[in-house]
Structure 1
């Protein structure tokens, strides 16, 4: 996201007086926060915080007291609601200074300073459960009623310049002061307090290596001050812009879209396997002009090695990215892999050295030493995270870091946060405690699952069941519109997706929809390519697609119908697994495949000869594939009995024909659901449990076979049929 502020591109003033009429003080704070968070030029996702000192009625005394509302730990300003803000008695917050003054050996990064966070809950107003942020002292010790602390690229560029203090003076004059880098907390709050006491006319402070904080006694005035300071910084940067000489000028040319995609499809499974040696990651790709300008530049290697500056950035992007100096015009993909392999080895060693050099006696254990950002000339950036949301934010943050470097290099010289300071943030015990408070990850949180047949029936139910467990679902179906409809449903439930710049993939959030014909290998290859470009890899496959073609009245089935039945029900599943095999092998990560057969594959009966024999073949295909794919990938199957609900195999005419055949009473005026329910109830009476078999029953079994609960199970067909004794193994 650009930090520029030309006449056409100033940060937008979203304040609308009509929207604030009748709002309480806290509601106005939420409104202001949402306006600020809506523009990533103002602050990044999850970054920054706002506060308001308000008069509230004390529930204990019934009297008015001063209360500070401040964005609590976690959350994002753009989407924050009142429950995302902590509320604290202002007098109690100020009284904490006396407690701190009485602590022995107090000072920056001391146990005494960290211990003050434990006092925040004692200041809570009205039993508010929202945990206070470590930035609380910054807001408490500044006297203004309204305070904005933002992370705009333009101001961080000033904060991360070698001449940061002089630039602050040059750009803002006497209205904005400067403080050197200090880790957020009590000491930084006290330092800011002293700065304002020394110069009461200040409107804000540039925080070295960090960002901007400014204030006013009116909330709209505070908001507009924030915007004006950001614009002023951006305008100054643009006046110094180096044009084609930015980042030392261009060293490499970008690849065209087709060539880039071809390399990425070949590269991503292998690269994902390399960076997922400890835990699985999900990827986000970016190849827009700004990131390409950086990775293709002469200075990319130097600046990438320096790492990021703002703590909010490197907590996501790690201390530095992995940059590989590869010539996209002269060197092959194999050379790229060789350079990446060497780079990854060196990166892990560098991270280990960083940890060993900077660690303290009580530091948490070393975290995953693999990079979360990979930069490749000609191609762009590949960001990794525990899920799509995190990898997207990681990409966003490194984009911010690139803009910070651009601005700093235009004005002066970019400098990164010293490694020890970076380590003390990354491995801060308070940050570690925050991580431990996070809810446990869901079973499939790091998994990418391709569900074929997701447009309706069992497949649609499977997609919903797996997404509920945190899976990233590629909803695939012969009917691409139905596949996308299922993906849209999942996105609506689990989070709004965004388009990933340069990939051509839209809705790249928790789910995407793709069209696929599993009888056509080119169609399968296209679906797998979209999967890789959306998420960086593939972990699991569920195939629910199938076809049943009824015989003629004479009980005959044409050769073409026989062929199609076997093409879809047997060869289609084989085609898909065979095409996906390269991805699984290159990743080297454990996976699971679930096919859908049928209890008809074990039960001989009249009227479905082609279908039943195809399902018998599919049963044995499962066993053969289990051997072929072992030990890396497990292959199992679910075998439903007749599932009527939501099935495209049971259009109204077929249901009526079956009801007539079995002499089940019905009315022509009955709805489709009523007709299906009657037929399902009839089939249920054939089972031991006497209950209709539903898509949800199949989805539960599919989830079980993908989960670690079945980690030692492969080559098996699980009947989900309500208890058809004819299908019992003999």
Structure 2
């Protein structure tokens, strides 16, 4: 298909000859894959695959051989690199057909269908370790050099219509072949091979309920053909769009933004607690116009019940979402919660029945029967997953499902996969094997950990420590820029959370930044509201923020120093604890809180009266909160000795004053770090271990207190001071 950039309105034309002409054939395949995957209207995250049959030199014989390069299992087109592609001898793949034909038949699939996946390893070129996709034979059996297999919303919409075959002929003018739904694999590839042979003038195949495959002899032309197939379908849908009567028109009115935010902040922790009866979930909220148009509509209950169509969708979204029959103009919050509870209970019953009715002798055990997508009229869509990335993709996939239903209902009538077919995909042995190959979840992988004071020092080190254990980290600080810097550093290490453009799906990943003044309840409440909207709730809260005011240092009276010290070091922890407790109680899930106090709380000395007494009060606050927040939440204290490194409590002038006070030699030309090291070394000699106390030492203790390893410990103060015998318990 010869196309120009301005021919497309519903997809992005991104091919750049100046870039592509400088690439090798394999690099061109990667380039094509990346620009296809970059447009969510072309294919969903992790979905689809691309291939090219290239001539390579056999390392054993030195001869030229044809090699199929195809995106491997578990890869994503948008981010794929050359190493994400499998490479297989095309001749050996073709020879495997004889092996397949010898397999015995069963009632629903060739017994050897799944076993064929293991045979692909024998075809690997150059010992390429990348696992082959289930769609490998499809790419092999299409004779053209370049093949794209994609899952565009517009095409799946056609493929999900009750009259999908006749629409294929109408929409693409006879240029697309048609194959009804078949589970991906060798058998489906054979049917596509026959369709390719029977319609030699076709440029692609519509795959019922699934997507499409197209081909060409040139990489650029294959890319343009992919875009033409999608654009043609999208324009046909656009011509038949029902406008205000999409999905039968509106039934419920949306809440105003402020009202919706207030409701979600209260609702999400409740929903998280109800869903997390086996394991905890992380939420992603979608509240854009398209989502609200669907959930508010007359047809939403009917279409939601039918479930999704494309296999890629319901592997994330389950067979169907949970639709909550709620009208915010008539029902109050308590009614919403009551309906949610009843809905989740019934969903679990229905899902269990679905499993019992569809399971086969060799089916894997039933997974968690809780819904992963919740639809609430007037409010939006909430997706759930084991982490933020999974919940975001789940929400993205249901957004795709909505677009599929919209298109199908515009041009015909939407149909979903039969339940048995859906089950055979959801509980496919190959999918189960993928799950089993997944690395073990990190200890805090499903936890939201709020670190207050994360801009530097102990707080920053603690944020890094819990992130290392898989936590979703909220980096909070009075100084937003410092909090953002920590969050950015964590994101650079653990990955970028990306929102889906134009969907209203929130885009936060393993770390976000929040500014907060812990002496101000309104500020703390706002912080927790934002955290709840981002992740659905909280699990652990670690407060490292504090203030040290020495006489003469701040130019204020003793009374003022007392007011500020107690406001930050005591009242701040109290405000954070009581605000967090509202979320913990709503969730009904166990949590943990750590307040940073000081060994100074137990040691009377001269020069830090306000600080030391405030920390003594903070020690008792730990005990009081442990009582108040029990039995759900463990509250403990972390009591450091003097931590100089990285602490804002030790600016250069204070370090110099302390060095002078203790007659420790230094030079005015010493750097800040050199001065701090000298002071830390002096303090170390006063301890039993003779080692400087670092932020990392405190972070390790903070992690231990929230890790669950000390789940029976609460109301305790853990000293991390190198062994100050003056601070021993008396």
TM-score interval, normalised by the smaller of the two chains: over 0.9
Compared with structure 1, are the counterparts of its residues 251 and 298 closer, same or farther at alpha carbon in structure 2 (3 Å cutoff)? same
Alignment correspondent of 1:312: 312
Tell me, in whole angstroms, the C-alpha distance in 1 between the residues paired with 2:240 and 2:701: 62
- Written as runs of structure 1 = structure 2, the 5 A alignment for 1:291-302 is 291-302=291-302
Kindly provide the CA deviation profile for residues 498-524 of structure 1, in whole angstroms up to 9, marking residues without a partner as x: 358899997622111111111111111
Tell me, in whole angstroms, the C-alpha distance in 1 between the residues paired with 2:584 and 2:530: 16
Alignment correspondent of 2:267: 267
Compared with structure 1, are the counterparts of its residues 408 and 6 closer, same or farther at alpha carbon in structure 2 (3 Å cutoff)? farther
Alignment correspondent of 1:476: 476
CA contact under 8 A between 1:286 and 1:501: conserved in structure 2?
Answer: no
- Per-residue deviation, 1:554: 14
Alignment correspondent of 1:18: 18
CA contact under 8 A between 2:33 and 2:50: conserved in structure 1?
Answer: yes
Kindly provide the CA deviation profile for residues 77-122 of structure 1, in whole angstroms up to 9, marking residues without a partner as x: 0000111111111111111100111122268633211111110111
Kindly provide the CA deviation profile for residues 148-207 of structure 1, in whole angstroms up to 9, marking residues without a partner as x: 000000000000000000000001122111101111101001111111122222211010
- SS of the aligned residue for 2:693 comes to coil
CA contact under 8 A between 2:286 and 2:504: conserved in structure 1?
Answer: no
Deviates more, 1:455-464 or 1:601-610: 601-610
Tell me, in whole angstroms, the C-alpha distance in 2 between the residues paired with 1:488 and 1:69: 36
- Written as runs of structure 1 = structure 2, the 5 A alignment for 1:668-707 is 668-707=668-707
CA contact under 8 A between 1:641 and 1:721: conserved in structure 2?
Answer: yes
Deviates more, 1:226-235 or 1:475-484: 475-484
Alignment correspondent of 1:591: 591
Alignment correspondent of 1:326: 326
Tell me, in whole angstroms, the C-alpha distance in 2 between the residues paired with 1:69 and 1:342: 50
Deviates more, 1:278-287 or 1:603-612: 603-612
Tell me, in whole angstroms, the C-alpha distance in 2 between the residues paired with 1:303 and 1:268: 24
- Written as runs of structure 1 = structure 2, the 5 A alignment for 1:276-675 is 276-499=276-499, 508-552=508-552, 558-675=558-675
Alignment correspondent of 1:221: 221
Alignment correspondent of 1:98: 98
CA contact under 8 A between 2:104 and 2:111: conserved in structure 1?
Answer: no
Kindly provide the CA deviation profile for residues 520-572 of structure 1, in whole angstroms up to 9, marking residues without a partner as x: 11111001101111111011100000111001399995112102111111111
Kindly provide the CA deviation profile for residues 443-485 of structure 1, in whole angstroms up to 9, marking residues without a partner as x: 1111011111011111111111111211111111111221122
CA contact under 8 A between 1:622 and 1:637: conserved in structure 2?
Answer: yes
Alignment correspondent of 2:51: 51
- SS of the aligned residue for 1:78 comes to coil
Compared with structure 1, are the counterparts of its residues 554 and 360 closer, same or farther at alpha carbon in structure 2 (3 Å cutoff)? closer
Tell me, in whole angstroms, the C-alpha distance in 1 between the residues paired with 2:499 and 2:602: 46
Structure 1 portions without partners, runs of 5+: none
Compared with structure 1, are the counterparts of its residues 636 and 500 closer, same or farther at alpha carbon in structure 2 (3 Å cutoff)? farther
- SS of the aligned residue for 1:99 comes to helix
Tell me, in whole angstroms, the C-alpha distance in 1 between the residues paired with 2:412 and 2:507: 39
CA contact under 8 A between 1:107 and 1:187: conserved in structure 2?
Answer: no
What TM-score results when the alignment is normalised by the length of structure 2?
A: 0.97
CA contact under 8 A between 1:321 and 1:373: conserved in structure 2?
Answer: yes
Deviates more, 1:623-632 or 1:449-458: 623-632
Alignment correspondent of 1:120: 120
Tell me, in whole angstroms, the C-alpha distance in 1 between the residues paired with 2:180 and 2:503: 40
Tell me, in whole angstroms, the C-alpha distance in 1 between the residues paired with 2:179 and 2:600: 75
- Written as runs of structure 1 = structure 2, the 5 A alignment for 1:65-80 is 65-80=65-80
The yes-or-no answer on 1:233 pairing with 2:233 is: yes
Compared with structure 1, are the counterparts of its residues 123 and 108 closer, same or farther at alpha carbon in structure 2 (3 Å cutoff)? farther
- SS of the aligned residue for 1:709 comes to coil
Kindly provide the CA deviation profile for residues 559-589 of structure 1, in whole angstroms up to 9, marking residues without a partner as x: 1210211111111111111111111011011
Deviates more, 1:192-201 or 1:416-425: 192-201
CA contact under 8 A between 1:348 and 1:370: conserved in structure 2?
Answer: yes
Alignment correspondent of 2:38: 38
Kindly provide the CA deviation profile for residues 316-335 of structure 1, in whole angstroms up to 9, marking residues without a partner as x: 11100011121111211111
What TM-score results when the alignment is normalised by the length of structure 1?
A: 0.97
Tell me, in whole angstroms, the C-alpha distance in 1 between the residues paired with 2:292 and 2:671: 57
Kindly provide the CA deviation profile for residues 382-424 of structure 1, in whole angstroms up to 9, marking residues without a partner as x: 1101111111101110000000000000000000111100000
CA contact under 8 A between 1:681 and 1:692: conserved in structure 2?
Answer: yes
Structure 2 portions without partners, runs of 5+: none
Alignment correspondent of 1:178: 178
CA contact under 8 A between 1:106 and 1:113: conserved in structure 2?
Answer: no
Tell me, in whole angstroms, the C-alpha distance in 1 between the residues paired with 2:115 and 2:592: 47
Compared with structure 1, are the counterparts of its residues 257 and 554 closer, same or farther at alpha carbon in structure 2 (3 Å cutoff)? closer
Deviates more, 1:191-200 or 1:425-434: 191-200
- SS of the aligned residue for 1:710 comes to coil
CA contact under 8 A between 2:209 and 2:416: conserved in structure 1?
Answer: yes
Tell me, in whole angstroms, the C-alpha distance in 2 between the residues paired with 1:377 and 1:504: 16
CA contact under 8 A between 2:176 and 2:202: conserved in structure 1?
Answer: yes
- SS of the aligned residue for 1:205 comes to strand
Kindly provide the CA deviation profile for residues 623-644 of structure 1, in whole angstroms up to 9, marking residues without a partner as x: 2222222221111122111111
Kindly provide the CA deviation profile for residues 409-440 of structure 1, in whole angstroms up to 9, marking residues without a partner as x: 00000001111000000011111011100111
Tell me, in whole angstroms, the C-alpha distance in 2 between the residues paired with 1:84 and 1:625: 51
Aligned residues: 726
Alignment correspondent of 2:63: 63
CA contact under 8 A between 1:463 and 1:473: conserved in structure 2?
Answer: yes
Tell me, in whole angstroms, the C-alpha distance in 2 between the residues paired with 1:639 and 1:393: 41
Tell me, in whole angstroms, the C-alpha distance in 2 between the residues paired with 1:555 and 1:528: 34
Kindly provide the CA deviation profile for residues 282-320 of structure 1, in whole angstroms up to 9, marking residues without a partner as x: 001111000000011100010011010000000011100
- SS of the aligned residue for 1:97 comes to helix
- SS of the aligned residue for 1:367 comes to coil
Tell me, in whole angstroms, the C-alpha distance in 1 between the residues paired with 2:100 and 2:7: 47
- Per-residue deviation, 1:714: 1.9
Alignment correspondent of 2:151: 151
Tell me, in whole angstroms, the C-alpha distance in 2 between the residues paired with 1:132 and 1:12: 29
